Amino acid sequence: MVGAAIWRTLEKKGYSNLIGESSKDLDLRNQQQVLDFFEKEKPTIVIDAAARVGGILANNDFPYQFLMENMQIQNNLIDTSLKTHVEKFIFLGSSCIYPKFAPQPLKEEYLLTDTLEPTNEWYAIAKITGVKSCQAIRNQFQKEYVSLMPTNLYGYFDNFDLKTSHVLPAMLRKFHEAKINNKPVKLWGSGTPMREFLFVDDMAEAVVFALENSLPEYLYNVGTGKDITIKELAETIQKVVGHQGEIVWDATKPDGTPRKLMDVSKMKNLGWHYKTELATGIEKTYQWFLENIDHIKEVKM
């Protein structure tokens, strides 16, 4: 999802010398494959949008894969970039790197100040090692290796598999299927946690901004700077989809982190700001979902 959005945005802005491979053609977990690819293509700038991702259920069921495969992917890319003299590296992480009970909104300096949310700590630990690796290279070798930490992303080419997807695409699919079958929608938790969401094309704009500008620090949050409750999100999606039934909350299921609002003042002060409001982004995503419903991405673990 993210890589495709970045690629589209770069093409729209006139970039033509783009190099990329799908996971089917290049296994980023394989160190030798990554080295061979770099030596053949000789990239001068690298944008790392690759990761194994998923929601609470996937993180809980596959902790080893979420920890190890993400470290393999990013370590191979970061280390090979350093060894092949890549001067600029943009590493994409996640807001889950911050402590579970960190003050809100989340500031970059809160990293590693307390314990993580247990339901996604495996993914978070992997991403933290990527952030610190880029920081170490920046400090030791004076290369512009920068980390962007997006809030919850959604949009075109999202994963709508109900077992492995994040909350927004999972909800969208649930409401769509409930609408078709004239049934209520059952959702995890209490609906009280608050989350921030960013349309993936806006995230791509932030990446291009980082590409075209020299960012003075090693870590930047990327988001809207405003959040809503999961209950409000469900009601917004229900309205967009046109579902008329009941919403049932299963309080026996975990809520996850109570709140994850990003402080995005550092990026805003440099000149970047999001464009797409949540309801508009959900409408665009649902339209894409309907147009691609026969072959939407489903991840098999």
Look at residue 300 and tell me if it is in a domain: no
Q: Quick one: what percent of the chain has pLDDT higher than 90?
A: 83
CATH number of the domain to which 19 belongs: 3.40.50.720
| CA distance linking residue 86 with residue 194, whole number of Å | 39
Q: Are 6 and 47 in contact (CB under 8 A)?
A: yes
**Residue 260: which domain range?**
2-295
Q: Are 218 and 135 in contact (CB under 8 A)?
A: yes
Is residue 153 annotated as involved in ligand binding?
A: yes
* pLDDT per residue as tens digits for the range 74-109: 999 999 999 999 999 999 999 989 998 899 999 999
The reply to whether 123 belongs to the active site is yes
Look at residue 301 and tell me if it is in a domain: no
Is residue 127 annotated as involved in ligand binding?
A: yes
Which amino acid makes up residue 105? P
Quick one: average pLDDT of 157-161? 90
Total count of domains within the chain = 1
Is residue 9 annotated as involved in ligand binding?
A: no
Q: Are 45 and 87 in contact (CB under 8 A)?
A: yes
Statement: residue 269 has pLDDT above 90: yes
Is residue 114 annotated as involved in ligand binding?
A: no
| CA distance linking residue 6 with residue 22, whole number of Å | 14
Prediction pTM value: 0.90
- pLDDT (0 to 100) of residue 299: 39
Q: Quick one: what percent of the chain has pLDDT higher than 70?
A: 98
Q: Are 300 and 133 in contact (CB under 8 A)?
A: no
Quick one: average pLDDT of 206-228? 97
Is residue 174 annotated as involved in ligand binding?
A: yes
Catalytic residue among 98, 123, 218, 274: 123
Is residue 195 annotated as involved in ligand binding?
A: yes
Statement: residue 300 has pLDDT above 50: no
Place 297 in a pLDDT band, splitting at 50, 70 and 90.
Answer: low
CA angle 28, 33, 37 (to 5 degrees): 95
